A and B are shown apart, each in its own frame.
Chain A
Amino acid sequence: MELYKNFGENDVLKGLSLDILDGETITIIGGSGEGKSVLLKHIAGLMKPDKGTVYVDDEDIMRMDEEKLQQVQKKFGFLFQGAALFDSMTVYENVSFGVRRIHSETPEKKIREIVKTRLELVGLEGIEDMKPASLSGGMKKRVALARAIATNPRYILYDEPTTGLDPIRAGSINDLINSMQEKLNVTSIVVTHDMTSAYEVSDRIAMLAGGRIIETGTPGQIQKSPNDIVRKFIRGE
């Protein structure tokens, strides 16, 4: 990828390269402000790099026109850091939103069924008529996850899925990420600085520091890393 991105005088990505394998769950760890969310948005085609490119299924998404990019984006589900639920819609309308657009031929009965099963999967039955404003932070994240997986994406991007949640809720989100992997066999990219979550869900962990990926490896390899920056980060020193 060799991605470069700056915001004004702040260089965030400085020649970052990362390969993501089909079917794996990879977690990108790194300190606050290191550019983890920025990287995730580049992968989804929501941001354009100053230099470098991103390949999805061997296709260069930075050279695509808007319509082609839209087709690629339909393969993704994205759990945003703040949930990003549509305030003006109910939970049902939020979860069914993508299904209506991406699989526009789906009959209403089938859409109702999809919404129900996805909400069950995230442990939230019977809240279809509620508005996002009346949900707690954890519930919003789970509804957002239901919305992200309702379209049967091949790739799911999680931006800080456990931030701001109590340990029990964070644990249930981790379980959900694992069960998505088992049940839907998707490729997952998780961005977090929560190491418990990273160890629990990842096949591989990549450490982002100074605008580059400085180390990748299995959770076991990362725990034993000789790299000083990695060791300090995972031990919270």
Chain B
Amino acid sequence: MAEQGRYLYAVCRGLTPAAVDGIVGLGGRRLDLVAEDDLVGLVSPVDLDEYGEEGLRRNLERLEWLEEAARGHDAVVQAAAAIAPTAPTRLATIFYDDDAVRQRLREQHDAIVAALDRVEGHEEWSVKVLTRTVDASPEPVAVLASGAEYLRAKRAEQEARLAGDRDAHVVAEQVHEALVAVVAASRRLPPQDPRLAGHEGTMVHNAAYLVHRERSEEFVALVQGQTEAHPDVVVDARGPWPPYSFAMLDDT
């Protein structure tokens, strides 16, 4: 009953309908390909109740909804990126019909092609450097007799943490320098908030690295080497991701 829109997940090159068979869109809906010249838009139908202006305004405020949409979007992008050069679009890129999708692909053709050229054959890795938490204090502070001792212990703990963070920043730079040697591009991202990311320790480095598929093993080996070289910090590398952080249009 609800009016339908077309949700665009990504723009790809050389994607065939057979290749996306079995990939499921948001809300379990089927995926369709919208071709324009050498580009293919990956779309699925969405209810405009949910994804229209009103719906989005309401739903984007709800973290559970947002999480489901983000994971659904990512799942499709991930599947596409595994089989074809893929430029992911930003969450909630919605059109009224396929003609509108085609028109936009036509208008932005050259910029999209340039973005695809940049990421083709590459994948993204996320690398974070975190301080190790020093919470395992040998003597439980709580049983100290006086308030003064308690405060002193607290201050010492805080100072140790600050010094540790400074060192960790230096280490993070070394890790970054080592990694950029084998990557096509890198982008620093803001540190994540622990309340959302759930990490412990201080995130002193958060970056995305664009790595050619043929150099992935080398990159992973480098990360491994850095982890061993710097036992004082946690080097957290995850991937491969679709090239989200490197697929952008030059004119935006």
Q: Do A and B bind each other?
A: no
